[in-house]
Amino acid sequence: MMKKLVISMLLATAGIAASAEAIAAPASAVATQAAAATVHYRSATIDGVKMFYREAGPADGPVVLLLHGFPTSSHMFRNLIPLLADRYHVIAPDYPGFGQSDAPDHRQFTYSFAHYADMVDTLMGKIGARRYAMYVMDYGAPVGYRLALKNPERVSGLIVQNGNAYEEGLGAFWDPIRTYWQSGSAKDREAQAWLVGLDATKFQYTDGVRDLSRISPDNWVQDQALLDRPGNKDIQLDLFYDYRTNVPLYPAFQAFFRERKPPTLIVWGKNDKIFPEPGAHPYTRDLPDAEMHILDTGHFALEDKLDEMAPLIRDFLDRKVAAR
């Protein structure tokens, strides 16, 4: 009962920003949020590149690795981290080219999912995290699953949120990108450039959301400012092209699920056009004990469904990860 009360109190304050909203909030609410976690903003140099990450929670707690999607960063986890960090050691990196990490010229740095997985692996080694549960979303899924193939014994659990590992999850949205995969042509590359524009960024946050008043415009304003940095468009187009290398690995990802049977929680926004609901259900073929919750929202489910998702995630981690 006390645990549920604490989570409810934290959820009530998780969306409070450290600005005017926080000032206007009751002092007790702000104090509750502050007591929940101190988030540290750190960086590590890996392959000559500064890799930024958020870290919170007890150093000896069970580790939870949060892997973000496109076009955002660890910023997408800003409200979830305080709700986990009283018990869990939470780590949320930004991939190079995203968030606060360096974004070297794409002609001088390999922007690929294999490279990202290697860099996250190195980061976790530097931090000393030898075993971890992973929250994988969008790009975070191939990064995390590649990491799992490298070190299957280190994965203590999975939280899957609109992160694909099955052909069924690549719907019509991906058809133009598949054309680019097949041709690799400059014309087909440029045809994907709209995906780094403001309309596409805002679409990812708002499409499929029932109550838009719950979505802060700060999300797409911040993401777009970073996407608009000189050279970032080519970084993102390189990654769209490299995503093709994830698809042949789907059978290996699925074999990992079947053979290692990691405890798995699936929380999926059913209205997401990028990674639609048909990508969620095949997980149960390989993970029949997975816990699945289909939510009435879109791509960035944490933005409007945190109050539903956080108790599910916390309960899952407490039962399936911390208890082991």
Contacts 24+ apart (CB under 8 A), 308-315: 309/80, 309/161, 309/267, 310/7, 310/10, 310/11, 310/14, 310/80, 310/83, 311/4, 311/7, 311/11, 312/265, 312/267, 313/80, 313/83, 313/84, 313/135, 313/159, 313/265, 313/267, 314/7, 314/83, 314/84
| Catalytic member of 75, 106, 115, 299 | 299
Is 299 an annotated catalytic residue? yes
Q: 301: buried, middle or exposed (CB in 10 Å: 19+, 13-18, 0-12)?
A: buried
> Which two tokens mark 271?
């209205």
**Cis before residue 71, ω within 30 degrees of 0?**
yes
**Which residues are catalytic, by number?**
299
